[in-house]
Amino acid sequence: MSQSKRLKKENTTCSCCRRVLLNERYVRCQRCLDYNQCLQCLSVGMETENHVRTHNFIVIEPKPGSLYTQDWDAHDEILLLYGVKIFGLGNWNDIANFMKSKNAIDCESHYIGVYLHSPTAPLPIADRILAPIPKPPPPPYDTRPVESCPSVAHEKHMNEKNKKEKTIPAEYSGYMPYRHEFEVDWNNDAEMLVAKIEFKIEEDTFESFKNKICLLLSYNGQLAERRFRTKVIEDWDVQNQEVKPVARGEKDELRVLGGLSKAERAIDNRIISLAPYYGYENMQRFSSGLHKRIRFVESIHKLYQWQKNGVRSHAEGDFFTSLLRCIKEGRIPHSEFDHWNELVTEFNRIHGEMSIKNDEFLSPTESQLCAIEHIHPQLYLGLKCLLVRESTWRGVLTKEDALKMDNEHQFEISKIYDLLLTVGILDFT
């Protein structure tokens, strides 16, 4: 829209005589929409199709004229200068919101063109009215606001930290991550040690000088401890750690070392005191090794329990573990044991063919021994490997030494030892 059209649109005209109302009072009807009337038409009581003289009206004061430019009147100039005084030079958005009649670009370009670029700056040119100040061309880049993700709880930062819940400030425990310091420093009164220290060559003795040096060294130690505590917080990223729920009935805790099971978390709680001194990477490797050891021990114990109870495959073992867990938690009453036996029978019918056929690795003599003595082929192969390995390493393996290797399978070891001697696998001659 051109300047002339815009000024024409802003001008007020009389709804009766169509005369432009400039620098004069006029009335506005309170019942008719956008109905203005000059004082001359009002004085003679002129009426139109929808307006009658008995309608209530209000008196509108004349609009102040332009002072320095054609598109800014005196009222706008006063608001602009008052806004600069309140909000400060450069806060054009706040000034524009305060004025409500101009935008930020209008305020900036008008103030710079009239007040700063004037020959009498900072005073404007008062002897003539200037043309409207041209607005600067739009910048070559996009000036629309873009989300900068400043919040710690922003979705982008939460995804980077692999977190599901927002970290509230209460979880910081008095630590300010953006300032890299605590709200209350460790030994917060340590500055009192050096507050009144003053070195005076004329008055200081050797002992007083030595005491002051000791106080400075003590204060340096306090500062080193503060830096150490801040470094521990930042190295371990404690402020962004998420409190994860554990088992029912247990207190939620921070899984700093990544322990998942109850045994792993117990190990983490025992070694966490070494974390500040052992370092983040070293501690992670140490805890990861302990977690793997716990998993290996649990896996070996589970396999041994399966073997002890006659489990022949992983499918049977998983079923046995789930059944054992239900019995331990008391979820299977005695009245339903028959139903569970039917389920076990059906499971064996379906998964029976999935069991590993270890007898295909046995000779006919070994298969016959396993069938007669009811030795599982997998157990036979394990004990056979043990006896052959020990006899090779020792040179001579007596039957008494072989029986001492496993007290729970002495019967099986005795039968396998005799068979290996018979077929010549164990030869001590």
Domain of 419, CATH number, reads: 1.10.10
pLDDT at 360: 65
What are the helix (H) ranges across 329-376?
337-351, 364-373
When pLDDT is cut at 50, 70 and 90, the band that residue 7 belongs to is very low
Q: Which of 352, 382, 411 is the last residue of a domain?
A: 352
Greater confidence (281 vs 355) lies with 281
pTM here? 0.40
Determine, yes or no, domain membership for 182: yes
142 part of a folded domain: no
Query: Residue 4 domain-assigned?
Result: no
User: Which tokens in the block code for residue 362?
Assistant: 């046995």
Q: Are residues 167 and 213 in the same domain?
A: yes
Domain boundary among 293, 328, 352: 352
Q: Which domain range does residue 20 map to?
A: 10-62
| Same-domain status, 385 and 368 | yes
Are 174 and 224 within one domain?
yes
**Is 49 a residue whose pLDDT tops 70?**
yes
Please check whether residues 170 and 218 belong to one and the same domain: yes
Assign 2 to helix, strand or coil. coil
Residue that wins the pLDDT comparison between 85 and 202: 85
The answer on 371 and 324 residing in a single domain is no
C-beta of residue 416 within 8 angstroms of C-beta of residue 406: no
| pLDDT-based confidence at residue 254 (cuts at 50, 70, 90) | low
| One domain for residues 173 and 216 | yes
Whether residue 386 is contained in a domain is answered as: yes
Percent of the chain at pLDDT > 90 equals 1
How high is the pLDDT of residue 2? 45
Condensed to tens digits (0 to 9), the pLDDT of residues 315-358 reads 777 777 877 777 776 666 666 666 667 776 776 666 554 444 55
Reported as a single tens digit per residue, the pLDDT across 342-398 is 776 776 666 554 444 555 677 888 888 888 888 888 888 888 888 888 888 888 888
Residue of 44 and 347 predicted with greater confidence: 44
What is the phi/psi pair of residue 96, to 5°? -65, -40
346 occurs within a structural domain:
yes
Pair 276, 322 in one domain? no
Check whether residue 371 and residue 414 sit in a common domain.
yes
Q: Is residue 249 part of a domain?
A: no
Q: CB under 8 Å to 387, separation ≥6 — which residues? A: 397, 402, 413, 416, 417, 420, 426
User: Is the residue at 40 inside a domain?
Assistant: yes
Average pLDDT, the chain: 78
**CATH number assigned to the domain comprising residue 91:** 1.10.10.60
| Cα-to-chain-centroid distance, residue 338 | 51
Is residue 220's pLDDT more than 70?
A: yes
pLDDT at 5 over 50: no
Do 373 and 398 fall within a single domain? Answer: yes
**Is the pLDDT assigned to residue 1 strictly greater than 50?**
no
Asked if residue 97 has pLDDT above 80, the reply is yes
pLDDT at 9: 46
Domain tally, the chain: 6
Rounded Cα–Cα distance for residues 405 and 399 (Å) = 10
Distance of CA 136 to the CA centre of its chain: 42
Q: Return the pLDDT at 4.
A: 45
Tell me how far CA of residue 287 lies from CA of 243, 246, 253, 267, 293, in angstroms: 19, 19, 17, 8, 10
In this structure, is residue 55 part of a structural domain?
yes
Lowest mean pLDDT among 207-221, 248-262, 404-418: 248-262
Read off the pLDDT of each residue in 188-207 and give the average, rounded to a whole number.
84
Q: Is the bond preceding 122 in cis, omega lying within 30 degrees of 0?
A: yes
Per-residue exposure over 63-87, b if at least 16 CB sit within 10 Å of its own CB, e if not: beebbbbebbbeebbebbeebbeeb
Banded pLDDT at 188 (limits 50, 70, 90)? confident
Max mean pLDDT among 1-15, 129-143, 288-302 falls in: 288-302
Residue 270: predicted pLDDT: 86
**Can you give the pLDDT at residue 17?**
87
Residues 172 and 235 in one domain: yes
Instruction: Say yes or no: 213 and 183 in one domain.
Output: yes
**417: three-class secondary structure by DSSP:** helix
pLDDT of 172 strictly over 80: no
Kindly write down the DSSP assignment for every residue of 208-262, as one continuous string: HHHHHHHHHHHHHHHHHHHHHHHHHHHHHTGGG--EE--STTS--EE-SS---SH
The confidence score (pLDDT) of residue 405 equals: 85
Do 168 and 212 belong together in one domain? Answer: yes
Write the pLDDT tens digit of every residue in 399-424: 888 888 888 888 888 888 888 888 88
| 26 DSSP β-pair partners | 38, 60
